[in-house]
Chains A and B, each alone.
Chain A
Amino acid sequence: MRPSANIIPLALVGLVVTGIVGFIVVVLFISWFSNPPFGLGNAPAQPIDFPHTVHAGSPAEGGVGIACEFCHRNVTEGAAATVPAVEQCLFCHQQVNPENLVADASHDGHGHNDLAGDLAEMQRVVDKFNDNDPIDWERVHRLPDHVRFVHEAHLRFLTQGEPRTVSLPIGDGQPMQLPVPVGQACSVCHGDVASMEEVQPQPGQSLKMGTCVDCHRELNAPTDCTICHK
């Protein structure tokens, strides 16, 4: 048999195999180095349109400036930051709802133009409360089940103690003056949530194990496996 007889099918097989392997390598490469992989998991669709800009944004920028820990009340007291119960939304929205507000084009409410749409969303919150229904918020920052993360301990480090300067290997990496208020402490890992219409993980603030360990090493925090893994 002449060697050239099978060269075309062989080359085809070689090309296909190279293509498949190359595709897998590229997919693995991108998913390892991009966070989240391919943008998946970015800003999941929430059941109710909740703009953090309005609730947590500073009054100068058209927000009402509610502190993070007012709604995420457990954040300074326990492991989970917790999402508030619907009752807590009603603290304000018992008054701030379509019953008391009228969609008026002249009053565009906190820089939003679509007040009618906002009122409809508010009505959904009130409806949820009246129906005794929880709101099924979609989780944005998800940690694996075998990881134990305690918000309380991290906030204690960032918001208490004597004044000191640290450079955290997360976010922009600039030296930081500690202690900081709780709101700023949250931004270290979560980004400036108060300026986000939709909350999503920020570049450079991947909540991967490498980020945790970098920070723990930098600050001489314990790096024993059982500190975080359970």
Chain B
Amino acid sequence: MKKPNLSRRTALIASSAAALSLLTGCGAADMTKQASPFANAQGAKTVTLSVQSWVGAQSNAAVAQYLLEHKLGYRVDTVQVDEVPAWDALSQGRVDAILEDWGHPAQEKRYVDDKKTIARAGGLGVTGHIGWYVPTYLVKQHPDITDWRNLDKYASLFRTAESGGKGQLMDGSPSYVTNDKALVNNLKLNYQVVFAGSEAAQITQIKQFAKEEKPFLTYWYAPQWLFKKVPMTEVKLPPYKEGCDADAAKVACAYPHTPLQKYLNAGFSKDGGKAAAFLKKFRWTTEDQNEVSLMIADQKLTPAEAAKKWVDSHESTWKAWLS
């Protein structure tokens, strides 16, 4: 009973493998050049944008999507991917563009300079900055809290169940650039880094703290719409100097100010026609981005509605991108 079955199985596997190769055509199958099965449905030209998990990135994508769809006649798919995998997806052509990158030197070298599968597409016009922040209502009570040397004095204010006996420094998503563990260590602070695990969790917690005006210390970044809801002040860390963050374990300085960059898939950049040209020209300001972000995250408009509102009121800005 065993034998015939096994040979049947082999035959089945062999025949299904044969069928598979027939179906997909013979020869090499390079899956790194393969689009999403949902793309180009019903004969439309499709652009796939990578949307990172933070709202600022959603705003870029929403406005780009709105203009591509309504002014240039494309169909736009968005995929939410974390930063590093997004580079990988971009190099493979699974997505066509990343509109906001916070600096990934290793990936840039690998994909842009060595493999040439990704092309630079200029700056977004927004400058990003990461830092440690405390709520402004706390600064009013303790004005000297914004210097890192005084943080230990206030550690007991920031104690939570998760941080044990130390003060809590809340970090966010695992995908973000952070040196906080090393910083706490190297600056010899009496703090414990607690990872919220996602930005959504971090924002929810910050809002809950702010509702009761409780003290908190958090890793945060600008531009971010949450500043409008919960005013926060940056804590001064030892100043950033070029190269002071070269060795991740020995970092003892603040984070740099990063001009955010756009990247396109190399093939798309060359053959993407109007869409690629538009995305290369796409450039706006921090205020513009925040305006859209706030509509999405706070007024709970859908990204598409928020984009429409912004587009309707900023015609001169986006006209330049289309020319």
Report if A and B associate in a common complex: no
Interface residues of A (CB under 8 A from B): none
